[in-house]
Amino acid sequence: MEHLLLDVANRANRYVVGLPERSVAPSLEAIEQLRLLDVPLQDEPIEPSRVLAELDEIGSPATVATTGGRYFGFVVGGSLPAAMAANMLAGVWDQNAARILSPVAASLEDVCIRWLISLFGLPANAGAGFVTGATMANLSGLAAARHALLAQQGWDVEARGLFGAPPITVLVGEEVHVSLLKALSMLGLGRDRVVRVPVDGQGRMRSDVLPKISSPTVVCIQAGNVNTGAFDPAGEICRTAKASGAWVHVDGAFGLWALSSPRRAYLAEGVQDADSWATDGHKWLNVPQDSGIALVREPEHLRAAMTATAAYLIEGEGREPSHYVPEMSRRARGVEIWAALRSLGRLGLAELVERTCRYASQFAGGLQAAGYEILNDVVLNQVLVSFGSPDLTRRVIQRVQEEGICWLGGTEWQGHVAMRISVSSWATTEEDVQRSLEVILRIAEEEAGA
Ligand SMILES: Cc1ncc(COP(=O)(O)O)c(C=O)c1O
């Protein structure tokens, strides 16, 4: 065992040390080599060290270097050193995050909830569940909403289901994230029966055209649009919605972290007035996959939606982690969140948010200076750029990805094909941004002249 653990530590170290020099996207050859893992399952056991060697030698080259400094795709954070190390230790602990199975996992979740409430300025009695990502955090927050709204109508949705239940109206912005629609569909609230509220040019829900709210309603707003980084006007929407008895849910997968930076917090002004919030640890907080958090103003609604009891499930003193999430057994996600926050502190987190936003502006400035159109107001860590025609933009994206110095994706934004740049990693440096800009600009010029 000792040899194996030292071996894995060495291999992990080699992987991390090699990140700056390797291609961000794996080579075709590395992907092709993955067939070597696809062997007929043998009869006899194999030495663990050999299994590890196969995984590392064949698997590591076929990873995408998302923990390096030049991955700007989707909204994917890296892995802070403390969080990465905590993740390795937690892997060795192999804890099931139930209080009776892991006092440390349950206690760390308690601490993280208090820290997050304080960082985001949420109500002191809010509760939370630690889930796989923002999709499940959206699902959990909306399950709490469904419970509360129907309970007010005298309907126990957990016991009776939705058949025959009073209808719930769901309002979303036109630029709602697809994961929120998926969550609604899983909850029986339907992805197509939502009322879509028009948005402005940045994707912000227009509070001036919010429909009149009368029946039980959940209003789903966004803190951080996945394309533009824009925030719905939470303060105004909460005021109107709450006056009509609606539940307001915030999808703040990455944007909620703006609250931790005094210079960006204004963007999320008013989100604290909502009833539930979904966010991710594995995006801007830079903890390893998979880590999402559902926060709810009145935790009894989340608990009512998620709890399960049985005679053999012993309940100890204190908050029981599994009563606030869909899963019964799961890993101890609070460990990495605790480690990340403990290592950064308030100032370190604010600086991480601020620094990545500054790098997004550096990208936008460099691209604009070269004559390319920036399609969004760069208020956060997201940049949308067009290189001219849709076809040209797509070719630039593809060649940048193939060259492997950096990785960025594409999108369509309100009818325009764009390259999306998301700066979310603690590991990104100013040099990484400069080097990536040079590559993008060179390729854009070559493609325009081709
Ligand atoms: C606004 C928003 N909501 C939800 C999600 C889904 O998050 P996850 O992939 O962690 O489930 C994302 C992912 O990018 C997002 O940007």
Residue 130: the pLDDT is 98
Q: What is the CA radius of gyration of the chain?
A: 23
C-alpha of residue 127 to centroid of ligand 1, in Å: 21
Q: How remote is the CA of residue 135 from the centroid of ligand 1, in Å?
A: 6
Single-letter code of the amino acid located at 103: P
The three-state DSSP-derived secondary structure of 122-138 is CCCCCEEEEECCHHHHH
String of DSSP letters for 311-332: TTS---SS--GGGGSS-SS-B-
Q: Which two tokens stand for residue 178?
A: 């697809």
Question: In angstroms, what is the span from residue 162 Cα to ligand 1's centroid?
Answer: 26
Q: Are 271 and 253 in contact (CB under 8 A)?
A: no
Phi, psi dihedral angles at 139 (to 5 degrees): -60, -45
pLDDT at 231: 98
Overall pTM > 0.85: yes
Tell me if 327 sits within 8 A of 395, measured CB to CB: no
Measured between alpha carbons, how far is 248 from 104 in angstroms, rounded to an integer?
33
Q: What is d(CA 158, CA 170) in angstroms, rounded to the nearest whole number? A: 19
Q: For residue 136, give the ligand 1 atom closest to its CA.
A: 11
Mutate to test the pocket of ligand 1, among 175, 277, 280 (most ligand atoms within 8 A of CB): 280
How far from the centroid of its chain's Cα atoms is residue 127's Cα?
A: 19
Residue 235 CA to ligand 1 center (angstroms) comes to 22
Residue having the nearest C-alpha atom to atom 10 of ligand 1: 133
Kindly list the protein residues whose Cβ atom lies closer than 6 A to any atom of ligand 1.
Answer: 74-75, 133-135, 177, 179, 222, 224, 226, 251, 253-254, 280, 292
Tens-digit pLDDT string for the chain (450 aa): 999 999 999 999 999 999 999 999 999 999 999 999 999 999 999 999 999 999 999 999 999 999 999 999 999 999 999 999 999 999 999 999 999 999 999 999 999 999 999 999 999 999 999 999 999 999 999 999 999 999 999 999 999 999 999 999 999 999 999 999 999 999 999 999 999 999 999 999 999 999 999 989 999 999 999 999 999 999 999 999 999 999 999 999 999 999 999 999 999 999 999 999 999 999 999 999 999 999 999 999 999 999 987 777 777 779 999 999 999 999 999 999 999 999 999 999 999 999 999 999 999 999 999 999 999 999 999 999 999 999 999 999 999 999 999 999 999 999 999 999 999 999 999 999 999 999 999 999 999 998
Please tell me the distance between residue 317's alpha carbon and the centre of ligand 1 in angstroms.
34
Distance CA 143, CA 305 (A): 6
Can you count the helices (H) and strands (E) in the chain?
13, 11
Q: Which two tokens stand for residue 306?
A: 């998620």
3 state SS of 190: coil
How far apart CA 197 and CA 248 sit, in angstroms, is 14
User: What pLDDT, on a 0 to 100 scale, did the predictor assign at position 163?
Assistant: 97
Q: Best substitution site from 71, 74, 135, 186 to test ligand 1's pocket, by max atoms within 8 Å of Cβ?
A: 135
Q: What span, in angstroms and rounded, lies between the C-alpha atoms of 222 and 233?
A: 9
**Torsion angle of C-alpha atoms 273, 246, 267, 262, degrees rounded to 10:** 10
Cα-to-centroid distance, 302 and ligand 1 (Å): 20
CA angle 91, 256, 414 (to 5 degrees): 115
pLDDT at 395: 98
Kindly give the number of the ligand 1 atom that is closest to the alpha carbon of 222: 1
Q: Which residues, in sequence order, are CB contacts of 226 under 8 Å at separation 6+? A: 75, 177, 253, 382
Distance CA 405, CA 392 (A): 20
- CA dist 134 → 281, 396, 445 (Å): 9, 30, 38
Residue 176 and residue 220 in contact, taking contact as beta carbons nearer than 8 Å: yes
